[in-house]
Structure 1
Amino acid sequence: MSAVKGPRAYRSPVREESARRTRRAVTAAAAELFTTRGYAATSLADVARAAGVARPTVFAAFGSKPALLQRVLDEALAGDDEPVPVADRPWFRPVWAAREPAAVLDAYAGVCTLIAERAAAAFEAVRRAADTAPEVAELWQTLQHNRVRGARMVLEHLVTTGALRAGLSFERAVDVLWLLNDPAHHAALVGSRDWSPDDYRGWLADQMQRALLDR
């Protein structure tokens, strides 16, 4: 008995690209509103209006306001909407290519600076919203956990190239690097005190090296 085949799924590249452009417009509008007006004060209708689409379009694309905030944050961290992990991005490769501890931390300071330039405002929007929105509080905790994971990942590579500072445990080093990779430092020094990104990167690399390595 031959199997009965159902109708072949139809895919339209034109329609898919149109949907992707719509998602990008919605994400850009949401990023602007969440970071300037605030998460609580921004509705999906506000986002739809700013993006030039209907509210049901926003809901169909993202499902909920927390999911939209998550997308805004993900794209700010990665720099685009491609499903590629941060650690596999071309701009993260200098960390993996570094072959001595100071160079690992210098490269990681560059990564942290790049991410903060894109994502510091989104991080702050999540932090503020977490105080009053339980669903965002969970996202904030996930962000902290992911920053710890990032610090641990970098240090696991670093110790293959050389030693941490004498007397410094690996777990304490993770905590120190987690503290230093916070985009809030960039927001304070570059955003509020008018440091240049290059000055910030140099300062951050120096702080990481002083805290974690014998010099």
Structure 2
Amino acid sequence: MAREMHRAPRHYRAPLREDAALRTRLLVTKAAKETFERHGWSGATMATIGERAGVSQSTVEALFRTKPLVLQAAVDYAIRGDIDPLPIGGRKVTAEMEAAPDAVSMLELHAAHLRGVHGRSAHLAFVVEQAAKADKGAAALWRKMNANRRGGVEWAARTLLAKPAVTHLRLADVEKTFWVALDWGNYRLLTDYAGLSVDGYQQWVLDYYLRMFALERPPTSTRRARPVGGA
């Protein structure tokens, strides 16, 4: 009797189908961000998000199931700048700040990073804060966002204090300074009401850091850190 041959199952990928699914997810996520920012939590619906994205309501529901999960996807996209699930801590921008040779270089990169993150997410953060008063899912998201912000403050403080020539700084004072910079509300105040452009905001953050940390740019530090996309 011939021996039965057992072959491992072959796995097929459908790159075109996967690419189309990713494009649809990105399209819906962008539409969700824009819809929540324009209409707020109560005014945004799965139907209006689908309409803005050019897809059906059932497509939105198949991707994200519930309105709080759509909001979470929009927040993740706004903060990271894409729909890649890789956390900011694992991205190039974080490695660049950790590898910066001195405090000023690190703070230049951090100011540019906040310019991008807050420019994309500050107004959506206000939507989440308001929604948290009415919806348990949104409240959980708001708590998560603030926990992540605390983590960002603590990471930034540790990273700065690991640089040379900052022994005059105290951890508690450094963390307070970063708390102010990482506040979405301050971005909205400075850009919506105080008249700063996004470039002006980035420069304000850097000047604020240098003043609070009693640091000066070295003579060779004439470049301005580029705005950070993605993370």
Specify the TM-score bucket, using the shorter chain as the normaliser: 0.7 to 0.9
- Please, which runs of 5 or more residues in structure 1 have no aligned partner? none
Does residue 181 (structure 1) correspond to residue 182 (structure 2)? The answer is yes
Q: Name the amino acid aligned to 2:146.
A: Q
Two-structure CA RMSD over aligned residues (Å) = 2.4
Match of 1:100 among 102, 106, 113: 102
* Paired residues of 2:104 and 2:215 also in contact (CA < 8 A): no
Q: Name the amino acid aligned to 1:181.
A: L
Equivalent residue of 2:40, what SS?
coil
Equivalent residue of 1:80, what SS?
coil
Aligned counterpart, 2:27: 25
Which structure has the larger Rg over C-alpha atoms?
Answer: 2
Aligned counterpart, 2:86: 84
The C-alpha deviation readout for 1:4-38, integer Å capped at 9, x for no partner, is 66854443111111111111121121111100101
Quick one: distance in 1 between partners of 2:86 and 2:179? 22
| Greater length-normalized contact order (CA 8 Å, ≥ 6 residues apart) | 2
* Paired residues of 1:148 and 1:175 also in contact (CA < 8 A): no
* Paired residues of 2:36 and 2:44 also in contact (CA < 8 A): yes
* Paired residues of 1:106 and 1:205 also in contact (CA < 8 A): yes
* % identity of equivalent residues: 29
* Paired residues of 2:98 and 2:106 also in contact (CA < 8 A): yes
Quick one: distance in 1 between partners of 2:96 and 2:8? 49
Instruction: State the 1:171 CA deviation.
Output: 3.7
Q: Name the amino acid aligned to 1:79.
A: G
Instruction: State the 1:3 CA deviation.
Output: 9.0
Q: Name the amino acid aligned to 1:183.
A: W
Residues 167/116 of structure 1: CA separation in 2 closer, same or farther (3 Å cut): closer
TM-score normalised by the chain length of structure 1: 0.87
* Paired residues of 1:29 and 1:51 also in contact (CA < 8 A): yes
Does residue 202 (structure 1) correspond to residue 185 (structure 2)? The answer is no
TM-score normalised by the chain length of structure 2: 0.81
- Please, which runs of 5 or more residues in structure 2 have no aligned partner? 217-231
Quick one: distance in 1 between partners of 2:182 and 2:127? 17
Instruction: State the 1:58 CA deviation.
Output: 1.0
Quick one: distance in 2 between partners of 1:134 and 1:77? 21
